[in-house]
A and B are shown apart, each in its own frame.
Chain A
Amino acid sequence: MRSFVENFPFFSIFLALLAGIVTATIRSGRVTYWITVCVCAAAAVLNAAVLEYTYLGDLNFTYTMGRFLAPYGNAIKCGPFQALLATVFSAVMATSLAGGRRDLFQDVLPEKQRLYFVMVDMLEASLLALTYTNDAFTGYVFIEISTIAACALVMAKDNGPNLIATIRYLFMSLVGSGLFLIGLTVLNSITGYLLMPSLAEAVAELRITGDYRIPLTVSVGLIVAGLGVKSAMFPFHLWLPDAHGGATTASSAILSGLVLKGYIVLLMVLILRVFSVELLAELGVTNVILAFGLLGMILGSIAAMRENHIKRMLAYSSVAQVGYIFMGVGLGSAEGLIASSFHILVHACCKPLLFLCAGRLSAVSGHHKSLRNLRGSAYRDVGAGLGFTVGAMSMIGIPLFGGFVSKLYFANAAVPTGMTAMILLTIALSTVLNALYYVPALLAIWVKPPAEDEAAVLADVHPEELAFDRSFTAAAAVLTLGIFVLGIFYHPITDVIEAGVRLI
Chain B
Amino acid sequence: MSKDRERARFTRRLTAWVDGEREPKDQTLFVMEQHPPRHVRQSEEEFQRREEDRLRKFFNWYPIAAAVICAVLVAILLTTVMSMPGFGEEDNPINNEVSDRYLEYGAEDTGSENVVTAMIIGYRGFDTLGESCVLFLAVAAVMILLLRDRKNTSELEVRQIERDEAEAMSHEDLILKQVAWVLIPFIFLFAIYVLLNGETSPGGGFSGGTILGAGLILFSAAFGFRRMQVLMNRRRYSAVRTFGLLLYGVLYGLYIFIGANGLPNYLTGMILLIDLAVGLVVACTMYGFYALFSRGEI
Contact = CB atoms under 8 A, between A and B. Distances in A.
A–B proximity contact (CB within 8 A): yes
B137 interface: yes
B262 interface: yes
A138 B131 CA distance: 10
Contacts of A145: 130, 133-134, 137
Contact of A72 (B85, B101, B257): B101
A93 B136 CA distance: 22
A68 B77 CA distance: 35
B160 interface: no
B126 A22 contact: no
B84 A190 contact: yes
Given A67-B259, A141-B131, A118 B140 contact: yes
Interface residues of B, number: 65
Contacts of B85: 189-190, 212
B99 to A, nearest CB: 8
A426 interface: no
Nearest to A70: B98
A21 B98 contact: no
A399 interface: no
A192 B95 contact: yes
Interface stretch (B27-35, B40-48, B144-152, B167-175): B144-152
Contacts of A67: 109, 255, 258-259, 265
A73 B238 CA distance: 32
Interface string A118-159: 110010010001000001011001101100110110011010
B138 interface: yes
Contact of B98 (A1, A141, A155, A193): A193
Interface in B55-101: 76-77, 79-80, 83-85, 92-98, 101
Contacts of B96: 192-193
Contacts of A379: none
Contact of A444 (B18, B77, B79, B265): B18
Contacts of A138: 126-127, 130
Contacts of B79: 214, 218
Contacts of B258: 67
A213 to B, nearest CB: 8
A21 B140 contact: no
Contacts, number: 191
Interface stretch (A58-66, A266-274, A279-287, A320-328): A58-66
A215 B17 contact: no
Given A189-B85, A218-B80, A440-B18, A118 B124 contact: no
Contacts of B150: 109
B265 A215 contact: no
Contact of A66 (B19, B102, B145, B260): B260
Given A10-B256, A137-B124, A141-B134, A119 B140 contact: yes
Interface in B224-263: 238-239, 241-242, 245-246, 249-250, 253, 255-262
Interface stretch (A12-20, A296-304, A475-483, A496-504): A12-20
A191 B93 contact: yes
Contacts of B124: 73-74, 135, 137
6 contacts: A21-B136, A73-B123, A145-B137, A155-B144, A215-B84, A375-B15
Which 10 residue pairs are nearest across A and B when measured between Cβ atoms? A67-B259, A141-B130, A74-B126, A192-B93, A192-B94, A192-B96, A65-B126, A152-B141, A218-B80, A66-B259
Interface of A: 1-2, 6-7, 10, 14, 17-18, 20-22, 24-25, 63-68, 71-74, 109, 111-112, 115-116, 118-119, 122, 125, 129, 135, 137-138, 141-142, 144-145, 148-149, 151-152, 155-156, 158, 182, 186, 188-193, 202, 212, 214-215, 218-219, 308, 371-372, 375, 440, 443-444, 447, 449-450
Interface of B: 11, 14-15, 17-20, 76-77, 79-80, 83-85, 92-98, 101-102, 109, 122-127, 129-131, 133-134, 136-138, 140-141, 143-145, 147, 149-151, 238-239, 241-242, 245-246, 249-250, 253, 255-262, 265
Given A18-B253, A447-B18, 20 more contacts: A7-B260, A21-B136, A21-B245, A24-B140, A65-B260, A72-B102, A74-B127, A115-B141, A148-B134, A152-B137, A152-B140, A155-B144, A186-B80, A192-B98, A218-B76, A308-B20, A371-B19, A440-B18, A440-B20, A447-B14
